[in-house]
Amino acid sequence: MHSFQTVSDIRIEPGGAAKLDYYVDGLCRNKRVAIVTDKGVRALGLLDAGVESLRAAGYQTFVFDKVVADPPEAVVLKGAVAIRKFNPGLIIGFGGGSPMDTAKVIAHLCGCDQPLESLYGVGQAKGPSLPLMLIPTTAGTGSEVTNVAIITTGETAKKGIVADSLYADRVLLDAALTFGLPKSITASTGIDAMVHAIEAYTSIREKNPISDALALTALRKLRGAIVTACESPDNVEARGDMLIGAMLAGQAFSNAPCAAVHALAYPLGGFFHVPHGLSNALVMTGVMDYNLPKADHWYAEIARDMGVGQTGVSLIDEMQRIKDATHVPQTLAAVDIPEDAIPMMAKDAMTKDRLLMNNAREMTFDATVKIYEGIAS
C-alpha cells in the first residue's frame, strides 16, 4: 500500500509577498496576523512591503524575529508565549527552514495546550493548530510543504516533530525573495534540495510512485538552475526553478523520508553549527558511494532521467560536478571541524534511527567513521 499527502493550497508568483493582503484572504478570522522570521530576513527588508499591504488592508500585525538557525526549544517557547498574547487568527512563517519550522510548532502550541515535550516523534502532535501560511526565502529545505519540524533540544541534540497538523494551510512561492541570497547559501540550499529528492527516490520503507515522480522533476529543475542562480542571482527563471524544485523535493521526502545523508549531516550542525544544507553537501557523495551496492539501480534511473549518464556512478559524478561548480566547502577542515571530533559525530549519527531505517544500505558505525574520514581534509 502507498499513501501520499501534501499541502492543499500552493500559490506561485514572483513578487507575490508584497501583496500579502491578497494572499492571506480567507485564512485569518480576526484580522490579526503574527509573522515568525529571523533578524537577517527582517534586516533585508523582505517583509516590509507585505506587512505594509496587510496594515493598509486593516490587519494588525506582530512580527516575532528572534528565530535563530537550528532553533532551540527556548526560542520556540518564547515565540509561542509572545504570539499567544497577541491572539492572532493566522501565523505566517517567513524565511528559511528555521523560521518555517518554528512557525509550524508555534501554530500548534497556540492552537491547543499540548506541551512542547510531548510533540516529539511521529504522530504525537495531535491537537488543533492555528491557521498557518508558509513563505520560503531560500530554495532548499522544502519545509513549506512538509509535516516535519526539527528543533534543537539541550546543547546539541536535535529532535523531529512529524505530524499532519504541521502541514501549512497555504504556501506562497515568490522567487523575488531569493534574489539577494549569497552564492554560498544558494549553492548549499540547492544541493540540500537535491539530496532530499535523491533520498526520497531511494527511501526503502516508504518509496512510492508519486514521490518518485516529484523527486525526478525536482532534480531536473534543480540541476538546470543551481549553477545559473549562483552565477546570475537575479535570473528569475533560475530562481523560480530552484524554489519549485525545492518544493517538489519537499513533497517527495515528506512522504518517502530522508535517510543516511541527513543522519550523518545532523552532527555537523548540532555540534559545530554548520548550516544544514552545507552539512548535507559535505557528506552527500560519501554516503552515496557507500550506498552504491544497494542503490545503483535507483541512482542509474535518476542519472538517465537527468540525462547525465546510464549508471549510478554517473549520478555521483554529476553531484560532485555541481559541488565543484558552485564552490561549496568540501572538507570538515574547511568548516573548522577537527578530525578528533569524528568518533563523537559518528556515535551521534548512529542514534538517528528515524532516518537510518530508510537508507538503501544498512549504515554502520565503522562506515560512518570512514565517510567522515574521507572528507576530513
CA distance 183 to 180: 9
Backbone angles phi, psi at 361, to 5 degrees: -125, 140
As a whole number, mean pLDDT of residues 218-229 equals 97
Backbone angles phi, psi at 15, to 5 degrees: 90, 0
Residue 45 contacts by C-beta under 8 Å, 6 or more apart in sequence? Answer: none
Chain mean pLDDT for the chain: 96
Q: Is the pLDDT of residue 127 over 90?
A: no
Q: How far is CA 89 from the centre of its chain?
A: 25
Q: What is residue 3's predicted lDDT score, i.e. its pLDDT?
A: 86
- DSSP letters along 173-191, please? E-GGGGTT--HHHHHHHHH
Residue whose entry in the numeric block shows the C-alpha cell 534543480? 222
Q: How far is CA 58 from the centre of its chain?
A: 33
CA distance 191 to 193: 5
Q: Is the pLDDT of residue 156 over 80?
A: no
Q: What is residue 252's predicted lDDT score, i.e. its pLDDT?
A: 97
Residue 242: strand, helix, or coil: helix
What proportion of the chain, given as a percentage, has pLDDT over 90? 94
CA distance 270 to 266: 6
Question: Is the Cβ–Cβ distance between 339 and 377 less than 8 Å?
Answer: yes
As a whole number, mean pLDDT of residues 82-91 equals 98
Tens of pLDDT along 10-20?
A: 999 999 999 99
Q: Is the pLDDT of residue 1 over 90?
A: no
C-alpha grid cell for residue 367?
562506515
Tens of pLDDT along 351-372?
A: 999 899 999 999 999 999 999 9
CA distance 53 to 101: 25
Residue 204: pLDDT band with limits 50, 70, 90? very high
Residue 154: pLDDT band with limits 50, 70, 90? confident
Residue 155: pLDDT band with limits 50, 70, 90? confident
Report which DSSP code applies to 144.
G
Tens of pLDDT along 229-280?
A: 999 999 999 999 999 999 999 999 999 999 999 999 999 998 998 999 999 9
CA distance 138 to 100: 11
Tens of pLDDT along 18-74?
A: 999 999 999 999 999 999 999 999 999 999 999 999 999 999 999 999 999 889 999
Tens of pLDDT along 304-345?
A: 999 999 999 999 999 999 999 999 999 999 999 999 999 999
As a whole number, mean pLDDT of residues 197-210 equals 97
C-alpha grid cell for residue 126?
495531535
Domains with residue ranges and CATH for the chain: 10-177 (3.40.50.1970), 183-374 (1.20.1090.10)
CA distance 281 to 334: 13
Q: Is the pTM of this model over 0.85?
A: yes
Residue 353 contacts by C-beta under 8 Å, 6 or more apart in sequence? Answer: none
Q: Cβ atoms within 10 A of the Cβ of 366, count?
A: 9
